[in-house]
Each structure stands twice: as C-alpha cells, then as structure tokens.
Amino acid sequence: MTRPTTPEARSEPGSLSADAAVDAAAAPAVDAAVDAAVDTHCPYCALQCGMRLAPAPATAGGVEVVERDAFPVNRGALCGKGRTAPEVLARGLRLTQPLVRDPGSGALVPTDWETALDRVAAGLSGVRERHGTDAVGVFGGGGLTNEKAYALGKFTRLVLGSSQIDYNGRFCMSSAAAAGNRAFGVDRGLPFPLADIPRTGCVILVGSNLADTMPPALRYFTELRENGGTLIVIDPRRTRTAEQADLHLAPRPGTDLALALGMLHLVVAEGRVDEAFVAERTSGWEEARAAAMAHWPELVERVTGVPVPRLREAVRMFCAPEAAMVLTARGPEQHSKGTDTVGAWINLCLATGRAGRPLSGYGCLTGQGNGQGGREHGQKADQLPGYRMLADQAAREHVAGVWGVDPDTLPGPGRSAYELLDALGRDTPDGVRALLLMASNPVVSAPRAAHVEERMRALDFLAVCDVVLSESARLADVVLPVTQWAEETGTMTNLEGRVILRQRALAPPPGCRGDLEVLNALAARLGWEKGFPTDPAEVFDELRRASAGGKADYSGITYRRIAEEDGVFWPCPERAEGPPHPGTPRLFLDRFATPDGRARFAPVLHRPAAEEPDAEYPLLLTTGRVLAQYQSGAQTRRVARQNAAAPGPFVQLHPRLADRLGVTEGERLAVVSRRGRAVAPARISADIRPDTVFMPFHWPGEGRANSLTNPALDPTSRMPEFKVCAVRVERADEA
C-alpha cells in the first residue's frame, strides 16, 4: 500500500486529496431525530457536564444546547467548548463515507462500507497470519463510552488474540492511578463528590489550570473561599486559576516531588503529624518519614525555587483547618517520576490525617471525558473489566467465564501506550505491523510526535475509526466514519466515579455507523458471529456481569438508575436481596481498599527530571492546554468560534528571556529540543518563570509542541514526561 510521506503528497494535482475526499463524502445537514429536548452530557472533559439538546434543524448540527440546571456536577454551567459542541455534528466538518487509500495515487478515496470493512478485516488478518497475533495492535481513546471501551478490549483479546492494546488515557492520569492503587488499594479519580470541595477547609491544587481546562469546576473553589476556606495553587505559571488562589507557589518544572517532600518535612518538624490516625489507619510511616526528613526546607528551596517562608505558609494553611484536600492533575503526573510525585502528596495527606475522613482526602482531576471508565473495563494493556488485572488468574477466570472462553486463551499484559506506538512498523519479531486506531490522534498528542508519525507511516496496515479526518486518520489505509456523542447512547464515568448516561438525541447522517457496529462487523468477518452486540444496553449488561466483584463493580448500576439518580457512583454491587446498593460517593471512610484496610505510605525520594538543562539546551519547556481548544484539537479546531478565540500555537516566555533574545511580542520563535523543533509566535508574559517556556499542544504542523516532548517513562505507570524537557529558544528567522 502506498502511504504518502509528506503533506504535499496528499494533494498532488490529479489525485483526490484527503480534504477533497471529505468534501465529496459530506452528507446533507443533520436534522434532529426527536421532537423533544433530550438530557445528555458534554462530549469533552471528565466533568461530563449535564446539558440538554433541543431540536434546531436550522442550526449547524441540527440541535442546540440548552442548560440543564438540575444536574449536580455543573448545575447548568457550560464552557465555550460544550456550548459549541453540536457544531462538529454539522455538514462538511465530519466524515460521512468510508475512505480507502488508492494503491496507485496514494490518495484517500470514498468507498462503500462493505468494501471498507472487507479491507480492514483482510489487513488485520493478513498481518496476523504472516507475523503472529501480537503483530496486530489496537490503540483506543479516553473519549469512548464504557460500552465501546469494553467491547474494544474484548475484541482485541478474543477476536485478534492480541495483547497489544492500550489507549491515550495512559497519557492522562496513569501516574495518579498507580499511586492511588499503591496507597489506597484502588484508583478512582476523586474518592468524594465535587460538592465536598466548598465544605473543606483548604485545598492544595497541584498542576491544574481549571479555569482553562474545566471552567465549570472553578465555581467549587470560588465557593470554598466564600465559605472561609483557602486555596493553594502550585504551578510554574501564574494561570487564571493561580490568580484565584490565596497562595501561589511557582516551582521549577519537574520539582513537585521535592516540594511535597519539603512540606512533609515541615509537618514532622513542626509537630503537625496526626499520630493517632497514622497509628490506627496507615502502614509504612517510619520509612516515609525518614525519606521526607532528607528534604530540609533550604534544600527544597534550592531545588524548586520556592522560598522557605512560602513553603512554611503553605504548611500552616493546609494544617490549620480540621479538613483539607490535595488535588493533582497533569502538572505533577506527566513525569518520569509521576507515580512517586503523587505518592508524596498522598503521604502529606496521610501524615496529617487528611484521608479517609469526611471532607478530606487526595484526589486526581481526570482530564479526558472517560479516562476513568476507559481503563476500568479493558482498554488498558494490563487490565480486564471491573479494574481486574490480567496477571491475576482469578480475574482471568471470572472474565473468561462471562465471555464463554477458556481463561488460558486470554493473552497476557501488553505494552503501554508509548511503547506500543514506538513498536509500530518495526521489522522485528516483536514489532506491531498493523494497527486499529479508534478515537485518538497520536500524531498530535503523543510525546516525540514526529517519531510516532514516522512509526505510523511504517505500518503494513492502518485502520482508523473517527468522526473527523484527524492528522492520524490522514495516514490510514482505511478510514471508517463513526457516530458521535449526540447520535448514540452509552455510559461514561466522570472524575468523581459517577457513572452517567449519554442519551441519543438525533440520528446520525447516512453513511456513519457506530463503533459497536464496526466491531460487530469486523468480528463476524474474522470468525466471531456472536459475542459483539450492537445495542449499547446489551453491552452494558454484559459489562455489569464482567465487572461484578471487581474493584470497579458496576453490577448494581442500570441505565434506569443512572437516569433517575443523576448518575451512580461505583463501586455499586448488585444485591440479591433487599434494597439496591446505593453506590459509593465517598470511599475510605471506614477502611481503605488494601488487604488490611490500612493506607500505605510510599518512601519516595526526589530525583531530577529525565532531562535537565545544559549549555546546549539551557531552558525548560512545559506544555498544557488553552481554554478554547481540547486535547489534540481534532474537533475543536473545526469550530469557528473556538478557533477565533485560540487560532494557533504560541510560545509563552518571560520578559527577561525575551529581552535576552531580542524578541518582541508576536515574533516567530523556534523552540528546539533533542527530539525536534516547533515554531510559533512569542507571547511575552511575567506570568511564567524566566527559566521556563510554555507551549499548548493542540496543533499539528510546525507548531506541534509534542515534536519536542520527552518520551522518558515512569517505571511504574509508564507515563511519558510531557511536562518538562530541556530546550533552547531561537528567533525563527535566524535559526
């Protein structure tokens, strides 16, 4: 198969380019399929804000967003991304006909569904026959519903017989998941509802810019301060969120672990340890205490750049009230030491008795819409449904029983996300030669993205299921146009562990099929006539049985309960007798989920980032998001209002650095790392450290921030080090 090697090759004269193929395949404007408004949820972040879709045939997408005040998470509030989400449903912005790559011209051309599905089945089975089952890989997405994530994991392990599956949620909260499992015995983003935040006494928010990433959640922190509580924000940039804080600490990128250990050192030195809680409900304190005492305040100041008085003030504010919380996000998690960093913040909570008690605890602010549920039910390389582990024989036997197969036929754990992407197209015995990509855009979102793009181009076969022609889909041999959030029913699990129901509001345009339909059709072509239903309710019923008894037990949750109760918190086991289980909004109040019921301290030590500045690369780069765009931007970059607000990438740098470089506002800068180069206009601001530059990662092309980022992996979570790498900055016209 001839796959284009350059952007220009995709639009040669005389051939149908990928963009032209989309235009040729565009359907008429979508009309709403219902006469009444439908309650559903936003398709973007892990808040999963409630919204109502009302028919509006004259608008782009055929529906309009109406506020849904009764849903408790957002109480009617929506950000701009949510309000404009229906626009991606509109004619011309999405795929509505399958595309296949013409072997002669190398261009993507429209085709019919049967031809496209036959091509995918032949491509996957051909590679499997020539190179073995693990030569076929699957890469999923954190935006897939629980039903689709479950079916995708089952399809990979049964139909393909492959261990090679992971998903982009690995890049989201895997470090927090690993640390939570190690400390508490279970991983759920927040072990309490968002509604508890305004009622606590102090929140330390580490590496999260909520004002841009999930704006409706900011109201909880505003209410916290209105109620007399305090907010501490830890971020190397003075973001819009940091401006709301009572105290802002701006550590050097890559030093959050030292900062947490320094705070724990002061807790011990100042006699603020909750000795009774530590003795009664934890284990491993002495080792963790000894590790923290090696990080005295002056040392921590030298490492982090945070002055000792501000460190002491943070400890005082955190320990003063009866209840407090620590919430982390990608800032401390996307590091080659992310698990230990989160573990250090958990240690701070445990030592001060800020865990396992009302209005106290550690939580992770999950980013992607279904980053939580996506890994709970089998999309992650080492997990089976219900948050069971593939290496656990009892777990294999339970799930195999639900699936009706011999547990010995299930493959073992596979590669993590970046390791899977790095193995693509390699002519080695363990290389992955074919890939089914669903709801992800790694050409933009993966670390060392130019290398990942190169690996994807080297594949023998690539099939992509998506709603738009993303940068990754442009490389495919077959592109399958699938339905979107408003055109299908399914469950999601938000950052609180609340399982919610997205309900179908309108019919998809002719030419689009659901992901469950795609898996059903491919399974049938590959010899599995049964076991892959297309009805999401039927899939969810099977998921409930597969999860029963697991850490993430959904067996007592039904579509009807979700609709009646505004979502149900897992774990929620099914009861044979008596009233239904109420769900579990708050974890750990009686015991932790470890075998002995005690939370476990982690004896962690600070270590440098995988890549530190030097004479050739003297600055630090950190990456993140902006308000108007989402993740790789594949959808939001197609919405005019979002593009008007955030039209492209930029390089944020401090005025002192700009003066040293002789750079003016808006001038094109080249940011260079050991992995690549990105070019974007300068945005000069005193809201960033002088030793650090920031780039958002939503755009492809020359401004692709992930061309620069370091794929160094955390040894436990296998999270890449997105948040810090060494770079130099040059004026683009002189570079």
Query: What was the pLDDT predicted at 573?
Result: 98
Mean per-residue pLDDT for 365-376?
A: 89
Query: What was the pLDDT predicted at 61?
Result: 74
Mean per-residue pLDDT for 481-487?
A: 95
Query: What was the pLDDT predicted at 606?
Result: 97
Confidence of residue 26 (pLDDT cuts 50, 70, 90): very low
pLDDT digits (tens, 9 = 90+) for 74-113: 999 999 999 999 999 987 889 999 999 999 999 999 999 9
User: Can you tell me the distance from the alpha carbon of 383 to that of 377, in angstroms, rounded to the nearest whole number?
Assistant: 7
User: Does 603 sit behind a cis peptide bond, omega within 30 degrees of 0 on the bond before it?
Assistant: no
3-state secondary structure of 498: strand
Mean per-residue pLDDT for 541-545?
A: 98
Mean per-residue pLDDT for 621-635?
A: 95
The answer to which of 26-40, 482-496, 679-693 has the lowest mean pLDDT is: 26-40
Q: How far is CA 403 from CA 398, 410, 532, 548, 592, in A?
A: 9, 11, 10, 13, 31
pLDDT digits (tens, 9 = 90+) for 103-154: 999 999 999 999 999 999 999 999 999 999 999 999 999 999 999 999 999 9
Query: What was the pLDDT predicted at 35?
Result: 63
Choosing among 3.30.300.30, 3.30.565.10, 3.20.20.70, 3.40.50.740, the CATH entry for 99-171+373-569 is 3.40.50.740
Contacts of 501 (CB under 8 A, 6+ apart): 41, 489, 490, 491, 559, 562, 563, 567
Mean per-residue pLDDT for 38-51?
A: 95
Angle at 99 between CA 456 and CA 639, to 5 degrees: 85
Contact (Cβ atoms closer than 8 angstroms) between residue 438 and residue 515 = yes
Q: 3-state DSSP: the chain helix, strand, coil percent, rounded to 5? A: 35, 20, 45
Q: Domain 190-364, what fold?
A: Dimethylsulfoxide Reductase; domain 2 (3.40.228)
pLDDT tops 80 at residue 7: no
| Averaged pLDDT of the chain | 94
Give the closest residue to 363 by CA, choosing from 207, 493, 191. 191
The answer to which of 54-58, 293-297, 694-698, 729-733 has the lowest mean pLDDT is: 54-58
Cross-strand pairs, 197:
none
Q: State in words which class domain 8-89 has.
A: mainly beta
pLDDT tops 60 at residue 558: yes
Query: What was the pLDDT predicted at 20?
Result: 40
User: Can you tell me the distance from the alpha carbon of 638 to that of 25, in angstroms, rounded to the nearest whole number?
Assistant: 17
Choosing among 3.30.420.40, 3.40.50.720, 2.40.40.20, 3.40.640.10, the CATH entry for 619-731 is 2.40.40.20
Query: What was the pLDDT predicted at 620?
Result: 98
Q: What φ, ψ does residue 23 adopt, rounded to 5°?
A: -60, -40
H-assigned helices in 424-503: 442-445, 449-457
Give the closest residue to 648 by CA, choosing from 620, 686, 678. 678
Question: Quick one: DSSP state of residue 129?
Answer: H
Query: What was the pLDDT predicted at 8?
Result: 35
Half-sphere CA count of 35, side-chain side, radius 13 A: 0
Quote the pTM value: 0.94
Contacts of 437 (CB under 8 A, 6+ apart): 138, 139, 462, 463, 464, 465, 466, 472, 473, 476
Query: What was the pLDDT predicted at 9?
Result: 35
Confidence of residue 15 (pLDDT cuts 50, 70, 90): very low
In this chain, the answer to whether the domains covering 99-171+373-569 and 190-364 adopt an identical fold is no
Percent of the chain with pLDDT over 90: 91
pLDDT digits (tens, 9 = 90+) for 399-447: 999 999 999 999 999 999 999 999 999 999 999 999 999 999 999 999 9
Query: Structural domain boundaries of the chain?
Result: 8-89, 99-171+373-569, 190-364, 619-731
pLDDT tops 90 at residue 726: yes
pLDDT tops 90 at residue 476: yes
Contact (Cβ atoms closer than 8 angstroms) between residue 130 and residue 468 = no
Query: What was the pLDDT predicted at 437?
Result: 98
Q: 31 versus 44: which is more confidently predicted? A: 44
Looking up tokens 């927090």 gives 176
Confidence of residue 4 (pLDDT cuts 50, 70, 90): low
Query: What was the pLDDT predicted at 375?
Result: 86
3-state secondary structure of 257: helix
